[in-house]
Amino acid sequence: MTSASPDSAAEPDAVLERYREVRAATIALTAPLSAEDCQLQSMPDASPAKWHLAHTTWFFETFVLLPHLRGYRPFHPAYAVLFNSYYVRVGDRHARAERGMLSRPSLEEVHSYRRHVDAGIERLVGDAAGTVWGDLLELGLHHEQQHQELILMDIQHAFSRNPLEPAYRADQAVNRAPGEAEWMSLPGGLHALGHEGAGFAFDNEGPRHKVWLEPFTIADRLVTNAEYLAFVEDGGYRRPELWLSDGWATVEAEWWTAPLYWRREDGMWTRFSLAGRHELRGDEPVLHASYYEAEAYARWAGARLPTEAEWEVAGRHCPLRQRDDVAWQWTASPYIAYPGFVASESAVGEYNGKFMVNQFVLRGGSLATPAGHARLTYRNFFPPSARWAFSGIRLAGT
C-alpha cells in the first residue's frame, strides 16, 4: 500500500492537526462554488465537486472507520455504492459517467456526511493513535490531496463548457517562464530509481531498483506557449508525419487544432484557465497538452520526451526549474510496475496496480498540486489522449 510513514506513529494531536488541515483545504477549494457548480459533470472522465467531497469521505469511512472504530455506524448505507470509485472488492459502484445525475444527496447532506466521518476519526485517533490504521489514515489524506487537484481540473473543464466561461478565481498567479531554456548534460551509467523508504510514498513508487541510462540532455525549464504556438502555426496539427499513428487518428477524430482551452479569435489566441478566458501569454508554460501533442511537438522541435528514469535522475542531480510547481510533465515511459512490485492483497491494493496498462507516466507536480504532496519519485499517470490535467512538456535529447 504505502511505505512507512512517520505520521502513523505520531502523537494524536499531530495526527488530528494534519487530518483537519487536509480536510479543511478541500472545503476551501469548493467554497467559491455554488451548489449548482458542485453538481456539474462535463465529461465521463471528470466528476462533480460534490462527488469528490463525498468520495474522499467514503474512503475514510470504508477503510479506516468501519474496520477499526468499534461501534461506528455508517452515515447512510446507500453511500457505500454511490461513492465507491473503482474498488471492486469492496462492492458495487455507481456508474462513473453518471455521477452528475446524483442530485441526491444534496450538497448540504454531503457536508453533513463529512462532519459525521470527521467526528469518527476524532474519536478513533483520540482513543489509539499509531495503531494498525495509521498508514491507512495517511493514505486517505494523500488520496484526498489527489482529489483536491481533481476538483480544480474538473471544474475548469466544466466552466469551459459554459458559454459564459466563468472564472473559478480571478486572481490566479501568472507562471512565467524563467528566461531562456538551458540544456543540461548528464552522464550515463547505473542509477537507483524509486522511493528510498523514508516517509510516505504510494506503492507504485517502489521498490527502489537500478536502471542503466545512456548519456542524455534535458531542458531545465518547460516548453512555453510561444514555443508551442510556433508548432501550431507551422501546421503541426496538419502534418501526420509528426504524429504517432494513434495520436494522428485522435487529432482527426476530435478535430484538434491546438491544446485544450486555446482559441483563435479575430487573429488573437486566447486560453481559458481557472481565471477565465484571457489573451495567450507567450512566456507561460504550455498547459493541457496530451501525451500525443507533447510527443509530436518534441519531434517537430528535434528533441524527444525524457523517460521517467531520466527525469528522476535529472531532478536528483540538476537544478530543474519548474520541477514540481507548474505542470505535470509527460515522459516517454509507459505506466508499468517496477521490478519486484507486489500490490497489497487488501482492497487498497486496487489503488494503483490495476491501472498499469495503456497509460503514460507524468512526473513533477502542477499549480494545482497541494503543497508538500508531490515528491521526486511521484508517478502520476494518464491515458495518452488526456488533456484536462495540468500537463506540460519538458524536452530531452541525446
Number of CB atoms found within 10 A of residue 71's CB: 6
What per-residue confidence (pLDDT) applies to 348? 85
pTM, rounded to two decimals: 0.95
Q: Residue 171 has what pLDDT?
A: 77
DSSP labels for 232-260? HHTTGGG-GGGS-HHHHHHHHHHT--SST
What's the pLDDT score for residue 175? 81
In this structure, CATH architecture of domain 183-397: Alpha-Beta Complex (3.90)
Instruction: Report the pLDDT value the prediction gives residue 207, as an integer from 0 to 100.
Output: 97
Single-letter residue type at 291: Y
State the pLDDT at residue 4: 43
Residue 6 has a pLDDT of 42
pLDDT at 129: 56
**The dihedral sign for the CA sequence 313, 317, 320, 323:** positive
Count CB neighbours of 270 within 10 A: 17
Binned average pLDDT, 10 residues per bin, the chain of 398 residues: 48 93 98 98 98 98 96 97 95 97 98 98 82 90 98 98 95 80 96 93 96 98 98 98 98 98 96 96 97 98 98 96 96 97 85 93 97 97 98 97
**Rounded Cα distance, 324 and 96, in Å:** 29
Q: Which residue has the cell 482529489?
A: 147
